[in-house]
Amino acid sequence: MQTFTTIVSDFYSSKITAVVYSCDNSDKREAIRARKFLSWFTYTDHPSNKIIQVGGIFEAGGIKLYKALLVHRQNKLKKKLAEAYRNLIDCGDKEK
């Protein structure tokens, strides 16, 4: 977990960055990975408390893709970024 914490903390030292990640699904353990990443962002003392995580499951072609948007809490565009991300996830749900 320390490596993950360091990577995220370094990446988000800038307040204007945002990233979308996708959990690897090649071994059918993507749901476990998604839960683990979510748990890392719920620690109150975790350095990632500067980051908002907007999770979602995107379904396409019968495959569930666990993804999330990470954005700095002080990013002035955080609401627009979160809304755009949710709209993208919702588009995948409508294709079912």
The pLDDT score that the predictor gives to residue 89 is: 81
pLDDT confidence of 79, banded at 50, 70, 90?
very high
The pLDDT score that the predictor gives to residue 80 is: 95
The pLDDT score that the predictor gives to residue 43 is: 58
Q: pLDDT tens digits for 47-72? A: 556 778 888 888 878 888 898 888 88
Return d(Cα 27, Cα 25) in angstroms, integer.
6
pLDDT confidence of 84, banded at 50, 70, 90?
very high
Contacts 24+ apart (CB under 8 A), 55-63: 56/85, 56/86, 56/89, 57/89, 58/88, 58/89, 58/92, 58/93, 59/92, 59/93, 59/95, 59/96, 60/92, 60/95, 63/25
> Does pLDDT of 16 surpass 70?
yes
DSSP, res 46: S
Cα torsion angle, 60, 96, 30, 84, sign? positive
